[in-house]
Amino acid sequence: RFEKGRIYTFIGEVVVSMNPYKNLNIYGRDMIEQYKGRELYERPPHLFAIADAAYKAMKRRSKDTCIVISGESGAGKTEASKYIMQYIAAITNPGQRAEVERVKNILLKSNCVLEAFGNAKTNRNDNSSRFGKYMDINFDFKGDPIGGHINNYLLEKSRVIVQQPGERSFHSFYQLLQGGSDQMLRSLHLQKDASAYSYICPGAQIKCSINDGAEFKAVADAMKVIGFKQEEIQTVYKIVATILHLGNLKFSVDGDTPVIENGKVVSIIADLLSTKSDMVEKALLFRTVATGRDVIDKQHTEQEATYGRDAFAKAIYERLFCWIVTHINDVIEVKNYDTTIHGKNTVIGVLDIYGFEIFDNNSFEQFCINYCNEKLQQLFIQLVLKQEQEEYQREGIPWKHIDYFNNQVIVDLVEQQHKGIIAILDDACMNVGKVTDEMFLEALNNKLGKHAHFSSRKLCATDKTLEFDRDFRIKHYAGDVIYSVTGFIDKNKDTLFQDFKRLMYNSSNPVLKMMWPEGKLSITEVTKRPLTAATLFKNSMIALVDNLASKEPYYVRCIKPNDKKSPQLFDEERCRHQVEYLGLLENVRVRRAGFAYRQTYEKFLHRYKMISEFTWPNHDLPSDKDAVKKLIECHGFQHDVAYGKTKIFIRTPRTLFTLEELHAKMLVRIVLFLQKVWRGTLARLRYKRTKAALTILKYYRRYKVKAYIHEVARRFHNVRLMKDYGKHVQWPTPPKVLRRFEEALQTIYHRWRAGELIRSVPPEVLPQLRAKVAAMEVLKGHRADIGLQRVWEGNYIALKSDNPQTTGSFIPVANELKRKDKYMNVLFSCHVRKVNRFNKVEDRAIFITDRHLYKMDPMKQYKVMRTIPLYNLIGLSVSNGKDQLVVFHTKDNKDLIVCLFSKEPSNDSRIGELVGVLASHFKRSKRALQVSVTNPVQCSLHGRKCTVSVETKINQSQPDFTKHRSGFILCVPGN
């Protein structure tokens, strides 16, 4: 499988992962889609499959899950954790909610930052995690990540000051020197050459597959995304620079007094830490000691000053790392989550912790790291091998016991109260007086001499691989490891002089001050003895294992194919050894003989009861166990299950996945049924509500109609007695439904009021009134002056005021015409000025009766010059000004063009009256009379088309016609 590039293998729900030592194209978007929502057995083994299984278990059963990634250093644990995170990020938040995207982005970017400050190149691995990391990702009820929390364990801070041959310090130092801009390095008083700094000098020339320059930029970008402020990022790099400068301090003794040879470096350190150089110097060379009430400054020896300086450098880096983790946690922590509102909050934990290590020189850090791996192996044994077999026996399932190596004995050797190595180490650290590492080894020999997994040179005098007074050996589950006790006491005490804490607390940089809260304690204040490094680590490991045990675990077991980082080489012996100590063979045996899934009858029924008619919606069988049996037999799975006392056991995953498919199909039908019932309920409620609303609406409309009619009746109650018959009365606003009714009602009212007004008019005035109405209908809006305000006399030539000289000669002519043409009424008569087709302008008179229109010559005793029968008259044209132009249109196209004028008063407008009486007469005769109001006026003289336009002239005394190329112009006075 390794040679074909198939690096993943399944043992049930455990993924075995081989480190390919090369990039494989099996983690892209298309591969994510292949595993999304699929069951474990459906696709070839992959990390994505286990990540999806953990995610589905969490989402389906609302159960907290965790993915434990284990294996030795360089087996590919960190990469596996990154791919798992990448997968979870890719399959969640289909709705693209901004807050979820932010959390996902920060979770992914946090890896980059933590690797820079917590990983280093070792002889086994170019990107070895030098700290333990457990990340909890919190999900809401929809399965979207809403936050998280990172726990970090035992940073290998001794690497800051010393590294083994062929290894480097933490990546952050090299990244700053290689990736920092020239300006940045100048501000930090640094140069690009790493060999100039004694702390990281050994690793300066070592080749590493990590591109420090590119990683520096990636880390800076990631810190911005996470939410680090610019001044915080600057402080981070100031601390890294401070450590590099601290390593270059040289101490010497002048007589009895210790001095710093390169004092300039002190001022650089003071500048970077935002404090005073004399305070830095004092903290490095003296130790403040409180004896009762007295406080004295005790001088350091050269050795003590160097120890203090190194302890300070390690402590600053550790505090920086913890502060970065805390800062990330503050940003991604789930805030204001109320389970009653948002539903259950579930968790997937991802554990990526340092692997089992055997170096040429194994110290306190390797001891802690290997103890951690023992604890995780113990958890694996407890959950996968021991508990599973015990459960089969407890439930009465026939089972043949499978032997396995239980490493509890090694865990006890390290952590047991009063008897374990950590307890003996703590006792040695608490002894009064000078305690050496050799004395600690002696105590181990005395108390653990008979333990099968512990040995030293004193106990095995013939074993020359062990050094006298220095080495002891522990037989770990993964192999024998020889530890050198040198530095165990110091590293466990983890002493840092209080002077350094006070120095950092008094810094003017708020970020630094926040990292050292205990610096505010006064010198004389007595504090409780702090827990030792080993005890703190032991407590954190016990808490971690308890946390993992409370979740449903999924395992990724990482294996190194060889120690040469070669993508081709498969070292069979090396792989066999790892398979053995990881307990994978026993795991396979238990898996083959055992059952893939188990669940209590009650919970099993709760999930799958809908797939059988005998159990849905509730069963009537004697017990849940009988109901489960009936359900299983319905679908023919009885040969693949076993029934325990309280649980059902299913042997193969395929049966479980078939049940899941049936459950998913049935769920759709149930949801549709529920939707149908609920929609019906909603529709009935909506119908009742609508019906009620319509009833209310009907009665309300009726009320509004009645109220409106009552109000109209009230307002127009005595309308007959009102002077203006209710014209001043304000109509009430009608409801919308009565708008058209109101229009009809107002029309009826206006007609009634008009009738009342007309009834009050004397009969002799009625014809004049009708004529005025007819004139208004035709001319209103077209001509300004219609003459409605004056009395319309009609027969103006017969009036003495209008025609004093010739009235006597007109009346006999009128009477003669009455006798001859039998007319009944005179409609209108007036003096005019006319123009004919020969451009001749003359004064004439027009006399209009109910039968004819007569053109007369006043100068010849009102001799009739032309008679036009009214049935021959088809229309009138007038202009839209104040002039008196009238054109009578006839059927024979012999139009009559005249301009009315009156003698008394001279400016009287009679156009309105002429139009009104003719329009009224034609209306009574039920004939059409076309009246047009235009300027110029169109006319026809014996068939010839022409126009008459009106112009105003200031010096004109009388209206007069003049010839124009298109017809005539009527010039009227302008005043």
The answer to whether residues 263 and 284 touch, using CB atoms and an 8 Å cutoff, is: no
CB-CB neighbours of 339 under 10 Å: 10
Told to judge if 128 belongs to the known catalytic residues of this protein, a careful annotator would answer yes
Distance (Å, whole) CA 776 – CA 770: 10
Distance (Å, whole) CA 163 – CA 120: 10
Told to judge if 209 belongs to the known catalytic residues of this protein, a careful annotator would answer no
The CA distances from residue 496 to 48, 242, 287, 307, in Å, are 45, 17, 11, 9
185: which residues sit within 8 A by CB, 6+ positions away? Answer: 177, 191, 192
Catalytic one of 93, 129, 456, 909: 129
The CA distances from residue 971 to 173, 627, 833, 838, in Å, are 107, 116, 12, 18
3-state SS, 166-226, equals CCCCEHHHHHHHHHCCHHHHHHCCCCCCHHHCCCCHHHCCCCCCCCHHHHHHHHHHHHHHH
The answer to whether residues 281 and 266 touch, using CB atoms and an 8 Å cutoff, is: yes
168: which residues sit within 8 A by CB, 6+ positions away? Answer: 120, 121, 174, 200, 202, 203, 206, 208
The CA distances from residue 936 to 537, 845, 949, in Å, are 111, 24, 4
What is the widest separation between alpha-carbon atoms in the chain? Answer: 173
Told to judge if 913 belongs to the known catalytic residues of this protein, a careful annotator would answer no
**Distance in angstroms between the alpha carbons of the first and the last residue of the chain:** 117
Look at residues 920, 924, 922, 876 and name the one whose alpha carbon lies nearest to residue 900.
Answer: 876
Catalytic one of 308, 355, 794, 881: 355
Q: Counting beta carbons within 10 angstroms of the beta carbon of residue 573, is it exposed (0 to 12), middle (13 to 18) or buried (19 or more)?
A: exposed
Distance (Å, whole) CA 396 – CA 463: 49
Both tokens of residue 876?
């009138």
Distance (Å, whole) CA 358 – CA 479: 9
Told to judge if 129 belongs to the known catalytic residues of this protein, a careful annotator would answer yes
Told to judge if 125 belongs to the known catalytic residues of this protein, a careful annotator would answer yes
45: which residues sit within 8 A by CB, 6+ positions away? Answer: 6, 8, 9, 10, 15
Task: Please provide the DSSP assignment of 883-932 as one string.
Answer: S-EEEEEETTSB-EEEEE--SSSTT---HHHHHHHHHHHHHHTT---EEE
Task: Please provide the DSSP assignment of 540-557 as one string.
Answer: HHHHHHHHHHTSEEEEEE
Write the single-letter amino acid at 261: E
Phi and psi torsions of 882, nearest 5°: -95, 5
Distance (Å, whole) CA 772 – CA 916: 6
3-state SS, 869-895, equals EHHHEEEEEECCCCCCEEEEEECCCEC
The CA distances from residue 244 to 168, 210, 505, 844, in Å, are 14, 21, 21, 126
Catalytic one of 17, 128, 169, 829: 128
Residue in the structure block whose two tokens are 């059927």: 891
Catalytic one of 115, 357, 374, 415: 357
Distance (Å, whole) CA 868 – CA 201: 131
Catalytic one of 74, 308, 594, 787: 74
Both tokens of residue 884?
């008196």
586: which residues sit within 8 A by CB, 6+ positions away? Answer: 385, 402, 403, 404
Residue in the structure block whose two tokens are 């205990």: 518
The answer to whether residues 929 and 876 touch, using CB atoms and an 8 Å cutoff, is: yes
Told to judge if 357 belongs to the known catalytic residues of this protein, a careful annotator would answer yes
Catalytic one of 19, 78, 122, 829: 78
The DSSP secondary-structure symbol of 795 reads B
Look at residues 955, 953, 946 and name the one whose alpha carbon lies nearest to residue 971.
Answer: 953
Q: What is the enclosing helix (H) or strand (E) of 642?
A: strand 641-643
Beta bridge partners of 257: 254
Catalytic one of 17, 73, 242, 275: 73
Catalytic one of 65, 93, 111, 125: 125
Task: List the catalytic residues.
Answer: 73-74, 78, 125, 128-129, 355, 357
